[in-house]
Structure 1
């Protein structure tokens, strides 16, 4: 019997050490976008070079997270709603996402290697059945009204950067 509904959050950090081509394209594109968009917050009297410096002097620079995320958006669309960095115990990539949020961890207009971003993917509500030996047992099956007939399940290992972002316990009548 299901214990409740959960929404998972899975975070990917992309920086100069990222390995996949997909991550490298995002890193390059978001850095170029950061260079352009950070000019909106440039101060000639006291030049600021890092994202953290810009943010400390101008709270409106929070907008840079959103403005720079536009450069990552076309690459995220390529995933077609599946989190490909998060495989189940069989190595399949079924975990869906319906939202994401990109944030700038830090960047520097003088040093590309300091550019680092995070992308957090959020799943739709998923049925959490149980947690067994360090694994989430979940179901994406929407036909859970007849559990006696069985339900399709997946198992995902508890791992770094995978978190339960929302939990709604099962209602017992």
Structure 2
């Protein structure tokens, strides 16, 4: 049987409707950082939104990276766990090895229009089976398991903003 290794991608969108304390902190701090960093690109105060800055000011793609500094400490609080994605037992089970921050929209004068996304990319997983809308996966071991060895698995349901980012088949 072919071993299928997958990497999952979860896009966590955070906006003014954020209800969880961690999400609210990320929302507030990224908005503050956006306003501070945007000053460099908007010295004459000609533009109000992130979209206007991107359209009219060269180099503003750097704002994604510059504002991401505001979330790095919050990501450490996650201890490597991808938030919100639970297995069918209600437990966090997905570890991330990398992330990408993006500003979706923002307005220098209206905080309610600020919207960001954190894209989490999981550690590699072995994909054993699909059961309806559920995937049965396990952590990819450092070495090939011996024949007959027990493998601990997680069963989880696909949901919005979660997708298979990469697939690798080993023969």
Q: TM-score, normalised by structure 1?
A: 0.93
Q: TM-score, normalised by structure 2?
A: 0.94
Aligned to 1:135: 134
Whether 1:154 aligns to 2:154 is yes
Aligned to 1:91: 90
Instruction: Give the aligned length.
Output: 170
Unpaired runs of 5+ residues, structure 2, are none
| More strand as a share of residues | 2
Aligned to 1:36: 36
Residues 67-82 of structure 1 mapped to structure 2, 5 A cutoff: 67-82=66-81
C-alpha deviation, 1:149, in angstroms: 2.1
C-alpha deviation, 1:125, in angstroms: 1.3
Provide the rounded CA distance (Å) in 2 between the counterparts of 1:92 and 1:58: 44
Unpaired runs of 5+ residues, structure 1, are none
Secondary structure of the corresponding residue to residue 33 of structure 2: helix
Provide the rounded CA distance (Å) in 1 between the counterparts of 2:104 and 2:129: 34
Kept in 2: contact 1:12–1:119 (CA 8 A): yes
C-alpha deviation, 1:43, in angstroms: 4.7
Kept in 2: contact 1:2–1:130 (CA 8 A): no
Q: CA RMSD in A?
A: 1.4
- Runs of 4+ residues deviating >6 angstroms: none
Kept in 2: contact 1:4–1:128 (CA 8 A): yes
